[in-house]
Structure 1
Amino acid sequence: MAEQLITLEEFWGLREKHPLLDARSESEFAQSHIPSSHNIPILNDAERKIVGTLYKEKGAEAATMKGFELVGPRFHEIQKEAAQLFPEKKIILYCWRGGMRSQILSWLLGMVGFQVFRLKGGYKTYRTYTFEEVRKDRRLIVLGGKTGTAKTLLLQKLAEKGEQVLDLEGLANHRGSAFGAIGQPPQPTVEQFENQMAEELRYLDPQQALWIENESRKIGRIILPDGLFAQMLQSPLIDLRKPMEERIAHIADDYAALPKEELIAAVLRLKKKLGGLRTQEAIADIQSGNHPAWISNLLVYYDKAYEFDLERHEAGKIRTVDLGGLTIEEQLELLVKIKNQTNAKSPYPAHRVE
């Protein structure tokens, strides 16, 4: 069947109906791709290196002929794999720039009855879009607070109530501390993180307030886009406060059941900052199952770090809110009320809400 070239605008509508196929090499795909794509390389990493070297040394014709020589014996395997993955034989196809690799794969699959929608400009066009999308100006409300104030839980509940929420830690597969990777899937690359972020932002109204958790510049190995991080520092921040016992109980709910060896490894990563004695005490408490003790021990460090980070936020845009003793529903009602009282681009008055 004949292929159909599609623009990025046409792609957005078609992607809900048809699966995506990436024709690039396995390492290119691992580095970043359009979310939910499958990968069938028309040239694998080793073959791509051979063809690329030949292109530089002898030109396009020699490289093209070599490419067909390398991949030709695998044509039937590629067709079989695609038929197994996509029995309906309708796909959206892309390579790096919508060039030879996707053209060849489109021809190859068309020969066995596939209907192919090939993305004009390829992944590069998509990536240009996501790069720009995550750097747009937005009306942020930053949810801050010391470790254990249940910021992530509150963001999840706000989303359930219909609020616009961007969960950076969820996208990064990391909770943003030395303990943040425990129990989480591997982190994406920075580029893939931005792709996933853009996919979520695309469905949100940029004119409406967007809740986001206060983060440092890095979440594990993920580095936030400069523009987004600058907006976070300049946007209104709600500084949540809760009693120590509530914070310890919340942290224990999240971490107490995790493997002791992984908790100890995280403590050891903080040894230089905690000091030898505090480190030894925390490890002993983890080993004995005294979770309130080791959590309280580490909060001394994390609370100081939070106060230091809070000083970077723009003066006059921090509003401290005491949520101690309130139910989750009461906390959510108060947060939504604060949002409705102020424009997300206007500074909050610096005072405590009791």
Structure 2
Amino acid sequence: MSFSSLSPSEFLEQRTTKVVLDVRSPGEYAKAHILDAINLPLFTDEERALVGTTYTRQGHDIAVELGLQLVGPKLHKFVKKARKLANGSDMIIHCWRGGMRSASMAWLMDTAGFNVATLRGGYKAYRKLCQDWFEMPWRLYVLSGATGSGKTEVLHHLKRLGEQVVDLEGLANHKGSAFGALGQNPQPSTEMFENLLFEELSKLDPHRPIWIEDESVSIGSVFIPNSFFKRMILSPVLLMRVPKEIRVERLVHEYGLFSKEQLLGCIHKIEKRLGGDAVTACVEAIEAGELHIVAELTLHYYDKSYSFSLERRNPTKLHYLNTTTSDMAENAVQLKIEALEVNFEE
């Protein structure tokens, strides 16, 4: 056996020039995986379950024999597919915890003439590395503002200005409200969201501040890692105060492209919180195409909820930017200037 075993940190350094093959089952991969890893499953989901059951009931040796019986006829297909995927590149192979699945596939690829390495500890070690990174003392600027303030657009302008930015809603494929899934791709699992967040953080300088958007612990159906969310709560908040009329216009522009049926579905998600009269008024306004009325009514609910969330913040951490412009590029410039006065040690 001539293939090497890489630590998680070595893996991060070397993966950019190599093909990463995830040999876990399709179901494991679909739930969450390392970004850009390609699934080349040693077992199907059914085969994995069968081997696991055999191990539990009949022991290690019988389970290994069954595994060999299942995998043996597929060896040439693995090599053929790997050759196509690698296209001349070296490869790194991993399974769940760096056990028999990755070792077996690495042996096969090494025998077939590939330059191969495995990830020591497998995907489990990668996940441990993710959790360790979330616990780092990140210096965060939390960009806040009432619904419709244009926070995500401001983040993108800040990135163009050279600031470090992580777009949590972009990673989550959700804008955080009852309307947040409209026009978005399906959400990842929470585990995959964590992997994506780690990948973004790993690109950034931990000694420089990072801008993120103010969020609750959940964004749609995914959850922000607890240690990272605690860091967000303790971080300085830069709060944009944008006039309501600008926010209404922004929401109408952003959501006016969607069908009446889609908008009605979103209203019904929050009907208990809006109240019967407001829901009736929203439904009538949607049917009549009066989206400004819908925006006004829903902002009444979201603004109350936002005010409540601000009351739980440490007031010494709040820094305000009062703006009267809908030019988010200008607001980004002003926020960057305001951030120069922020003291992370407060």
Aligned residue in 2 for 1:119: 119
Aligned residue in 1 for 2:105: 105
SS in 2 for 1:301: helix
Between 110-119 and 194-203, report the one with greater CA deviation: 110-119
SS in 2 for 1:46: helix
| Alpha-carbon distance, 1:262 to partner | 1.5
Aligned residue in 1 for 2:130: 130
Q: For residue 112 of structure 1, what is the amino acid of its counterpart?
A: A
Provide, for residues 71-102 of structure 1, a one-character-per-residue CA deviation record: whole Å limited to 9, x for no partner: 22222222232233222252111011111101
SS in 1 for 2:238: strand
Q: For residue 135 of structure 1, what is the amino acid of its counterpart?
A: E
| Alpha-carbon distance, 1:111 to partner | 3.5
Aligned residue in 1 for 2:176: 176
Compared CA separation, residues 326 and 249, structure 1 to 2 (3 A): closer
Between 273-282 and 104-113, report the one with greater CA deviation: 104-113
Aligned residue in 2 for 1:221: 221
Structure 1 gaps, min length 5 = 347-354
Aligned residue in 2 for 1:158: 158
Aligned residue in 2 for 1:19: 19
Q: For residue 147 of structure 1, what is the amino acid of its counterpart?
A: T
Q: For residue 188 of structure 1, what is the amino acid of its counterpart?
A: P
Aligned residue in 1 for 2:86: 86
| Alpha-carbon distance, 1:154 to partner | 0.3
Between 58-67 and 198-207, report the one with greater CA deviation: 198-207
Provide, for residues 192-235 of structure 1, a one-character-per-residue CA deviation record: whole Å limited to 9, x for no partner: 11111111111222222211111111111111222222222222
Provide, for residues 27-74 of structure 1, a one-character-per-residue CA deviation record: whole Å limited to 9, x for no partner: 111222111111111012111111112112222111111001112222
Q: What is the rounded CA distance, in whole Å, between the counterparts of 2:328 and 2:195 in structure 1?
A: 32
Q: What is the rounded CA distance, in whole Å, between the counterparts of 1:269 and 1:288 in structure 2?
A: 20
Taking the TM superposition and a 5 Å limit, the aligned residue runs for 1:26-37 are 26-37=26-37
Between 174-183 and 311-320, report the one with greater CA deviation: 311-320
Q: What is the rounded CA distance, in whole Å, between the counterparts of 2:263 and 2:77 in structure 1?
A: 46
Q: What is the rounded CA distance, in whole Å, between the counterparts of 1:20 and 1:156 in structure 2?
A: 30
SS in 2 for 1:239: strand
| Alpha-carbon distance, 1:329 to partner | 3.5
Q: For residue 223 of structure 1, what is the amino acid of its counterpart?
A: F
Structure 2 gaps, min length 5 = none
Aligned residue in 1 for 2:313: 313
Between 5-14 and 81-90, report the one with greater CA deviation: 81-90
RMSD: 1.7
Note if 1:209 corresponds to 2:201: no
Q: For residue 124 of structure 1, what is the amino acid of its counterpart?
A: K
Aligned residue in 2 for 1:330: 330
Q: What is the rounded CA distance, in whole Å, between the counterparts of 2:190 and 2:329 in structure 1?
A: 35
Between 287-296 and 62-71, report the one with greater CA deviation: 287-296
SS in 2 for 1:133: helix
Q: What is the rounded CA distance, in whole Å, between the counterparts of 2:325 and 2:51 in structure 1?
A: 66
User: Is the contact between residue 235 and residue 345 of structure 1 (CA under 8 Å) also seen in structure 2?
Assistant: no
| Alpha-carbon distance, 1:2 to partner | 4.2
SS in 2 for 1:15: helix
Between 22-31 and 87-96, report the one with greater CA deviation: 87-96
| Alpha-carbon distance, 1:122 to partner | 1.1
SS in 1 for 2:16: coil
Taking structure 1 as the reference length, the TM-score comes to 0.93
Compared CA separation, residues 6 and 233, structure 1 to 2 (3 A): closer
Provide, for residues 102-149 of structure 1, a one-character-per-residue CA deviation record: whole Å limited to 9, x for no partner: 111112223433221211111111111001112222111111110011
User: Is the contact between residue 79 and residue 109 of structure 1 (CA under 8 Å) also seen in structure 2?
Assistant: yes
Identity within the alignment, %: 40
Taking structure 2 as the reference length, the TM-score comes to 0.95
User: Is the contact between residue 134 and residue 194 of structure 1 (CA under 8 Å) also seen in structure 2?
Assistant: no
User: Is the contact between residue 83 and residue 89 of structure 1 (CA under 8 Å) also seen in structure 2?
Assistant: no
User: Is the contact between residue 209 and residue 344 of structure 1 (CA under 8 Å) also seen in structure 2?
Assistant: no
| Alpha-carbon distance, 1:9 to partner | 2.4
User: Is the contact between residue 139 and residue 345 of structure 1 (CA under 8 Å) also seen in structure 2?
Assistant: no
Q: What is the rounded CA distance, in whole Å, between the counterparts of 1:230 and 1:106 in structure 2?
A: 40
SS in 1 for 2:340: helix
SS in 2 for 1:211: strand
Q: For residue 241 of structure 1, what is the amino acid of its counterpart?
A: R
Note if 1:3 corresponds to 2:3: yes
SS in 2 for 1:79: helix
User: Is the contact between residue 237 and residue 317 of structure 2 (CA under 8 Å) also seen in structure 1?
Assistant: yes
Q: What is the rounded CA distance, in whole Å, between the counterparts of 1:317 and 1:89 in structure 2?
A: 50
SS in 1 for 2:33: coil
| Alpha-carbon distance, 1:309 to partner | 1.0
Q: What is the rounded CA distance, in whole Å, between the counterparts of 1:90 and 1:236 in structure 2?
A: 44
| Alpha-carbon distance, 1:326 to partner | 6.2
Note if 1:57 corresponds to 2:78: no
